[in-house]
Structure 1
Amino acid sequence: MGKGTMRYWAAAKAAAGTHEEPYEAGTLAEALAEALSGRDEEFARVIRRSSFLIDGDPVGGRPHESVALPDGGVVEVLPPFAGG
């Protein structure tokens, strides 16, 4: 199980109430479950619509339970952005 940092951007930051927080998880699915624990439905809605980077690499459409997190990794939570 790795320890790392989850960083929130834009609407995810507003819904989380913080820019970043630590996680302790082996997969992206576990880290997101930890982040969702105790938070409201607005945060869950933003997370469901977000894309994710692990140490700068896009997760894309891979199932979150198959995405291993490295120790010391950084998960970037990127909600959909308006504009272009």
Structure 2
Amino acid sequence: MAKGTIRYWAAAKAAAGLAEEPYDAGTLAEALAAASAGRDGEFARVVARSSFLVNGDPVGTREPAAVELPEGGTVEVLPPFAGG
């Protein structure tokens, strides 16, 4: 298990009710599952549509269970942005 920070942006921040929180997880999937615990369905809907960066690197289409999290890392949760 690694410890780090999850940062939420825009709609993810609103759904989470905070800008950031710690993670204690081995993979992105584990961190997102822990973050979802106790939150309403809106949080899960926003996260399902979001893209992710781990230490500034895009996760892209990789499965969250395959994305290992580093000790002291930062996960950015980026919901779709409106505009053009």
What range is the shorter-chain TM-score in? Answer: over 0.9
5 Å-filtered alignment, 1:18-57, equals 18-57=18-57
Percent identity for Structure 1 against Structure 2: 75
Cα RMSD over matched residues? 0.3
Q: Find the aligned partners of 2:43 and 2:7 in 1 and give their Cα distance.
A: 14
The normalised TM-score by structure 2 is 0.99
- The residue matched to 2:33 in structure 1 has which SS? helix
Aligned residues: 84
Q: Find the aligned partners of 2:20 and 2:37 in 1 and give their Cα distance.
A: 15
Q: Find the aligned partners of 2:45 and 2:51 in 1 and give their Cα distance.
A: 12
5 Å-filtered alignment, 1:1-84, equals 1-84=1-84
Q: Find the aligned partners of 1:16 and 1:64 in 2 and give their Cα distance.
A: 19
Q: Write the letter of the residue equivalent to 1:68.
A: E
The normalised TM-score by structure 1 is 0.99
Tell me the CA shift for residue 13 of structure 1: 0.1
